[in-house]
Structure 1
Amino acid sequence: MEPTFLAASPFLPIIGLSVLLLIGHIMLQGVTATKELGTDWNAGPRDGNRKPEGKLAGRAERASTNFRETYLAFIALAFGLILAGDPHTLGLIGAWLWLVCRLIYIPLYLAGIPYIRSFVWVGSMVGLGLMFVVLMF
């Protein structure tokens, strides 16, 4: 029998959306690299040192790397809050803040917009911080 707190957790849709965001990052990175290097490169074994050198493909790769640096922390905190039962809505607010900021971050990074992009990144860290505080206290 499945525990009711797992089935009813409002964190599960956010986790599902975060997986879609991860897939979006992977697809964006692949599409921009393929556009620059061609389908033969993408379909091949990618042996050697040939990598995309264009701005857009580079930014897509760096945005994806940046996302993955925080993704494991998000998943760990979200499941921790599910198991703890998250008695506060502050953890849920933090999860949504992280997700929305990570979504907004992509076009800002691709467009090369400084400062605002960094502010949005800080917002995602605040979201993780809220989740952490709820989990710890």
Structure 2
Amino acid sequence: MSVEMTVLSLGCIFGIVQVFVAAQLQTRQNGLAWSLSSREAAVPPPTPLVGRLKRAQANFLETFPFAASALLAVEITGAGNATTAIGAIVWLSARLAFWLVYAIGIPVLRSILFAVSILGIALMLWPLLA
């Protein structure tokens, strides 16, 4: 399997992990009865950690379609090369670091890691546009 398809697979797994971790922490905060309900009852605002993990998850889900599209386009067109492989690894590494840094609550580094992940997507797209 190509580096790009491996990264896409790992990106999917990472997205699921983010959903699961945020949901588990929210369940701990609000209780199992709330999680099993229709969730219409009023609940307190999320703890800072739950809020950060939910926002990190939302950020991942906003950018994942672009990364997945780039990865699939590289694979389908056969445009994969060292640049696309590096871009894929940069994207996934930056997303993993972003998640951890966001969970810890480090604002400036979080923004830098977001920009690095976008650079990774650009590296994947570059050979397709050249």
Seen in structure 2, the aligned counterparts of structure 1 residues 40 and 123 have a Cα distance that, compared at 3 Å, is same
Seen in structure 2, the aligned counterparts of structure 1 residues 16 and 46 have a Cα distance that, compared at 3 Å, is same
Range 71-80 or range 88-97, more displaced: 88-97
Q: For structure 1, which runs of at least 5 residues remain unmatched after alignment? A: 1-7
- Which residue number in structure 2 is paired with residue 80 of structure 1? 73
1:26-65 alignment runs, 5 A limit: 26-48=19-41, 50=43, 52-65=45-58
Range 46-55 or range 127-136, more displaced: 46-55
Is 1:25 equivalent to 2:13 in the alignment? no
1:1-137 alignment runs, 5 A limit: 8-48=1-41, 50=43, 52-137=45-130
Counterpart contact for 2:90–2:116, Cα < 8 Å: yes
Seen in structure 2, the aligned counterparts of structure 1 residues 63 and 94 have a Cα distance that, compared at 3 Å, is same
- Give the number of equivalent residue pairs: 130
Counterpart contact for 1:32–1:60, Cα < 8 Å: no
Counterpart contact for 2:85–2:124, Cα < 8 Å: yes
Counterpart contact for 1:36–1:52, Cα < 8 Å: no
Tell me the distance in 2 between the aligned counterparts of 1:55 and 1:76: 32
TM-score, reference length from structure 1: 0.88
Tell me the distance in 1 between the aligned counterparts of 2:98 and 2:43: 27
Structure 1 residue 48, shift from structure 2 partner: 4.4
Structure 1 residue 58, shift from structure 2 partner: 0.5
Q: Quick one: percent identity of the two aligned structures?
A: 28
Task: Render the CA deviation track for 1:86-134: whole Å, top value 9, x for unaligned.
Answer: 2531011111100000001111001111211111111101001111112
Post-superposition, which runs of at least 4 consecutive aligned residues in structure 1 deviate over 4 A? Answer: none
- Compare the two structures and name the one with the higher helix fraction: 2
